[in-house]
């Protein structure tokens, strides 16, 4: 991200970059919508000539092999940053089914890094030379419950095959009995490693190995199940978080896009980042327009924190 054009709470328009308004620029890399309305941004661009990837569907009897292949891939991902995969278990169409999404951002087929993933027996596969549009449309098909009531929640785990298997088992145990009226999905997403983790506010500088976002997506068509959805999400996450802490494999980071409204996203960034974001909010939004008047979204500073910072 090179720069942001942003409208502040007082109507002033500024451009935030590493050279102009650098503190605001750093705060926007993780601070969400707490400082203004972004009306334009400039991104780094890279040459593109196609890609390889797609989706495989797997019978749940092969879950252990698929999880082992996923764990093995993530271990190699830092050395192969153009490759990525997502493991998904879902009851969205009835019985439990497993999905693997694979992508490599060059048109190079069947690279060795994907070998173990491709060895997992499949029911169907769309792997091949493709483009981003096709892959995005395929992934979007998982979330086509138009009009359904959706809830998401997340936590972050250090990469460990036994813990991944534990998380999968907890999901199946808790979600299966409710699958006739709650469409439940879980996903493993490797958090991309950046060459400059201190450039954002996520608090991931000290990560000593690969991290996995464990994502839950629950949907239902009937409001009477709303409380049960929330309770089930919280129970699954609670059991996995407790086990991860017991094994010293828990990480506090919460990815905002995957977090539930009851999760403390900004607290997960660490005290130093909370302090920085609060100070930037006090400078660029002293009236707290985007902390108090804007509905929804995660707020980087509670009223108590802002008052304390001003003293």
CATH of residue 213's domain is 3.40.462.20
Residues 218 and 248 in one domain: yes
pLDDT tens by residue, 44-62: 998 889 999 999 999 999 9
Contact 44, 196 (CB under 8 A): no
Q: Is residue 200 part of a domain?
A: yes
Output the six-digit token pair for 248.
Answer: 């010293």
CA 296 to centroid of chain Cα atoms: 18
pLDDT tens by residue, 2-41: 999 999 999 999 999 999 999 999 999 989 889 999 999 9
Residues 213 and 163 in one domain: yes
Give the per-residue pLDDT at 94: 81
Q: What is the domain count for the chain? A: 2
pLDDT reading at 280 higher than 50? yes
Residues 78 and 20 in one domain: no
Residues 223 and 90 in one domain: yes
Give the per-residue pLDDT at 306: 39
pLDDT reading at 157 higher than 60? yes
Residues 150 and 102 in one domain: yes
pLDDT band at 303 (very low <50, low <70, confident <90, very high): very low
278 lies in which domain range?
3-44+273-310
> Percent of the chain having pLDDT more than 70?
93
- Highest mean pLDDT among 81-85, 165-169, 275-279 belongs to 165-169
pLDDT tens by residue, 226-271: 999 999 999 999 999 999 999 999 999 999 999 999 999 999 999 9
Cα–Cα distance measured from residue 161 to residue 212, given in angstroms and rounded to the nearest whole number: 11
Average pLDDT of every residue of the chain: 90
Residues 56 and 40 in one domain: no
Give the per-residue pLDDT at 311: 31
First to last CA, the chain: 34
- pTM here? 0.91
Residues 20 and 132 in one domain: no
Q: 123-152 as b/e, with b when 16 or more CB fall inside 10 Å?
A: eeebbeebeeeebeebeeebeeeeeeeebb
Please compute the mean of the pLDDT values over residues 93-117 and round it to a whole number. 94
pLDDT band at 143 (very low <50, low <70, confident <90, very high): low
pLDDT tens by residue, 127-136: 999 998 888 8
pLDDT band at 305 (very low <50, low <70, confident <90, very high): very low
Residues 31 and 129 in one domain: no
Residues 251 and 277 in one domain: no
pLDDT reading at 186 higher than 90? yes
pLDDT reading at 89 higher than 90? yes
């Amino acid at each position: 991200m090179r720069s942001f054009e942003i409208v502040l709470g007082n109507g002033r328009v500024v451009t935030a970059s590493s050279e102009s308004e650098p503190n605001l620029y750093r705060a926007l890399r993780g601070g969400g919508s707490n400082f203004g309305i972004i009306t334009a941004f400039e991104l780094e661009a890279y040459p593109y000539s196609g890609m390889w990837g797609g989706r495989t569907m797997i019978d749940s009897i092969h879950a252990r092999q698929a999880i082992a292949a996923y764990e093995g891939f993530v271990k190699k991902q830092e050395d192969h940053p153009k490759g990525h995969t997502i493991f998904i278990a879902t009851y969205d169409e009835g019985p439990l089914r497993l999905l693997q999404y694979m992508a490599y951002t060059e048109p190079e087929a069947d690279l060795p890094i994907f070998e173990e993933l491709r060895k997992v027996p499949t029911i169907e596969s769309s792997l091949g030379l493709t483009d981003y549009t096709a892959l995005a449309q395929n992934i979007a098909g998982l979330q086509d419950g138009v009009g359904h009531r959706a809830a998401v929640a997340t936590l972050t785990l250090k990469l460990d095959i036994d813990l991944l298997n534990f998380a999968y088992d907890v999901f199946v145990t808790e979600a299966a009995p409710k699958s006739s009226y709650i469409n439940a999905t879980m996903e493993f997403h490797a958090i991309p490693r950046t060459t400059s983790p201190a450039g954002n506010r996520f608090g991931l500088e000290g990560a000593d190995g690969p991290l996995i976002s464990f994502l839950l997506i629950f949907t239902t068509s009937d409001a009477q199940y709303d409380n049960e959805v929330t309770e089930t999400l919280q129970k699954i996450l609670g059991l996995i978080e407790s086990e991860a802490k017991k094994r010293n494999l828990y990480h506090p980071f919460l990815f905002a896009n995957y977090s539930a409204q009851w999760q403390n996203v900004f607290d997960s960034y660490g005290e130093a980042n909370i302090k920085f974001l609060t100070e930037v909010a006090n400078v660029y939004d002293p009236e707290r327009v985007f902390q108090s008047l804007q509905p929804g979204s995660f707020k980087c500073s509670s009223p108590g924190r802002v008052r304390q910072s001003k003293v």
